[in-house]
Chain A
Amino acid sequence: MSNKILAFVESKDGKFKNSAFEVVSEAKKLAGELGCEFDVLTIGSGVDSEAENLGAYGASKVLVVDLNELNGKSKFAGTQYSHPAFAKVIAETAVKQGANIILISGTGLGKEIAPRVAIKTDSAFCQDCVALHAEGGNIIATKPVYAGKSLINLKFNGDKVLITLRPNVFKPVKSGDAKASVEKLDTGSLNLTDKDFSSAVKEVVVSSEKLDVAEADIIVSGGRGLRGPENFNLVENLAGVLGAATGASRAVVDAGWRPHGEQVGQTGKTVSPSLYIAIGISGAIQHLAGMSSSKCIVAINKDKDAPIFQIADYGMVGDAFEIVPAFTDELKKVLGS
């Protein structure tokens, strides 16, 4: 059979998330390798003009479902959006467009809805893919397992496939300044029933105004080597100069020095920023599991045998209380802030 790809991308308040450009670019690349077409789907409001601009990433058609219209069908008052309803919209649209390959960004939202879409469309499913290519007409997806300690390549049985793409891994590629055509999808045509609104998000609470580690391009993390919560101003000052997010090891989160949302690692967040600076962190295997795919790693630790140095691109052996202020000052000089 001939293939067709549907790429689901997220928009919020009329704007696309970064992950949207990554997914569209990857859909374009895969479509090229398979010699097939792809459509883009988004659910949002006031997103039409931005949707046109996805043409720059190679999209020719963007299907838009109006979020307010969709929410109007929810049985819960005050629905901002509903995961199962999103899943239904994606599954129905894939069937309507004759798409057998679905790509979804592996964000908190994407990972929640994708397993449902996989069952609804009877697709083979890979969550959290980090590399994708076609080989003799078959899709091969690479996925980290055992907390990133190894990778597996998967081949799918059957021609229906659904894959979520880990954010921040695939590169957005602008291919020109073409405009995509935008087509509104009528929610009336999507067979939605009460059952599709079995849960609803009533509120999204932003944990703080601070940048989250999961979204940051630069992260400065502190560990037990900083001796106490009062010394995290070292981490915060450095992060401030770099416009970075602050992260933490589990040891300091468990000790109550830092909030859980900052924890990087196996039981915290998985991150792959372009620069990760680890201060007073030993580099236990569970910490590495969350950050070893960072593009550049700087470690500051007084123990030259600390495991963190084995994966560091640049390591500074010595006392963080001396090094970090000097490092911050040097950065201020070159960054001019």
Chain B
Amino acid sequence: MKIIVGVSLVPDSTTKVKIGADNKSIDENGVSYILNPYDEFAVEEALQLKEKNGGEVIAVSYGTDKAKEAIKKAFQMGAEKGVLIKAPSAEFDTYTAAKNLADYIKGQNPDLILFGKTSIDFDGLSVPAMVAEMIDYPCINVVVKLDINGNEITAEREIEGGKEIVVSNLPAVIGTQKGINNPRYPNLKSIMASKSKPIEEAAPTYNGNKYDVVEMKLPAAKAAGKIFSNGAADAAEVVRLLREEAKVI
């Protein structure tokens, strides 16, 4: 099985967001970057499938040199090949990322393409289905359980209030959601082995955004709340406020 995994580098989820001087992006000072948490599920799923069916796992990222960190993490987990499609700048939208990934993947004819369900920076929730549409593959995103039997796929995807059981065929694109597996921690051996793996570089095929960010702002600050400290004795008053002041019950 030839499996391509899309990986992206994102600010750590504990990052305190400060708006940058351009008023359009975050201030990167002091921000640490990690492999997008959902992509860990994608890498893990790819490795498990390879361990079962044989084949290879190729981690691909579209981004600047910095994105190599995401590929390195995939190496540490056990991916054998890594490719960076070099973005001319860090300012690209989901369409541009999807287009460059699709153009690269087209020539590769993989059996399976795994992505995380969303990248936690821009919460695009778009790249998997966009790539699938561009290369004419089926796509199932937000997948919590994946069964592959020959070329038949049965997947469970999470929706509000339950799950959809979706059927499809390989080759396909799958986006992974928490619950599908437990990503492995790299061990010392795999970390050492990853150091000698080279990252291949590919030229971008498309540059040009479909939207521009005109402003980034913080959510409106909330007025200070009312805090009560007499325990159960305050219950009646809070219930009254919910009814008469907040009018939510």
Contacts and interface: CB of A to CB of B under 8 A. Distances in A.
The residue in A84, A119, A127, A335 that gathers the most chain B C-beta atoms within 10 A of its C-beta is A119
B134 A125 contact: no
A147 B120 contact: yes
Interface stretch (A38-46, A181-189, A313-321): A313-321
Given A316-B234, A316-B238, A334-B243, A260 B179 contact: yes
Interface string B3-27: 0000000010111110100001010
Given A140-B214, A199-B167, A260-B179, A327 B235 contact: yes
B218 interface: yes
A211 B214 CA distance: 38
B227 interface: yes
A112 B133 contact: no
A155 B211 contact: yes
A309 B226 CA distance: 9
A261 to B, nearest CB: 8
B140 A199 contact: yes
B207 to A, nearest CB: 13
A231 interface: no
Contacts of A311: 222, 225
Nearest to A327: B235
A313 B134 contact: no
Task: Please classify the interface of chain A as helix (H, G, I), strand (E, B), loop, or mixed, using the class held by over half of its residues.
Answer: mixed
Contacts of B15: 146, 149
The residue in B134, B158, B239 that gathers the most chain A C-beta atoms within 10 A of its C-beta is B239
A335 B248 CA distance: 12
Contacts of A158: 210
Interface residues of B, number: 86
A152 B17 CA distance: 13
B129 A115 contact: yes
A1 to B, nearest CB: 17
Given A152-B213, A315-B225, A298 B133 contact: no
B162 A124 contact: no
Interface residues of A, number: 95
A266 interface: yes
A153 B160 CA distance: 27
B209 A157 contact: yes
Given A76-B167, A317-B228, A128 B125 contact: yes
Given A125-B95, A152-B216, A334 B239 contact: yes
Interface in A245-274: 260-261, 266-269, 274
Interface stretch (A22-30, A59-67, A103-111): A103-111
Contacts of A261: 158, 162
Contacts of B230: 318
Given A115-B129, A152-B213, A267-B37, A203 B165 contact: yes
The residue in B14, B141, B162 that gathers the most chain A C-beta atoms within 10 A of its C-beta is B162
Contacts of B150: none
Contacts of A76: 167
Interface string A302-318: 00100001011111111
Given A108-B160, A150-B219, A286-B13, A198 B168 contact: yes
Contact of A145 (B123, B159, B166): B123
B164 A323 contact: no
Interface stretch (A48-56, A92-100, A170-178, A212-220): A212-220
A150 B225 contact: no
Contacts of B130: 115-116, 118-119
Interface string B96-136: 00100000000000000000000011111111111011101
A330 interface: yes
B60 to A, nearest CB: 18
B94 A125 contact: yes
B131 to A, nearest CB: 9
Contact of A116 (B132, B178, B218, B246): B132
Contacts of B138: 84, 198-199
A314 to B, nearest CB: 5
Interface in A115-164: 115-116, 118-120, 123-128, 140, 143-158
19 contacts: A108-B159, A115-B129, A116-B130, A118-B95, A146-B15, A153-B214, A200-B166, A200-B167, A202-B165, A215-B160, A285-B14, A285-B16, A293-B219, A304-B229, A318-B231, A323-B231, A326-B233, A330-B235, A334-B243
Interface of A: 76, 83-84, 87, 107-109, 111-116, 118-120, 123-128, 140, 143-158, 195, 198-207, 211-212, 214-215, 218, 242, 260-261, 266-269, 274-275, 285-286, 289, 292-293, 295-298, 304, 309, 311-319, 322-323, 325-327, 329-331, 333-335
Ranked nearest first, the 3 interchain pairs of A and B with the lowest CB-CB distance are: A108-B159, A318-B231, A198-B138
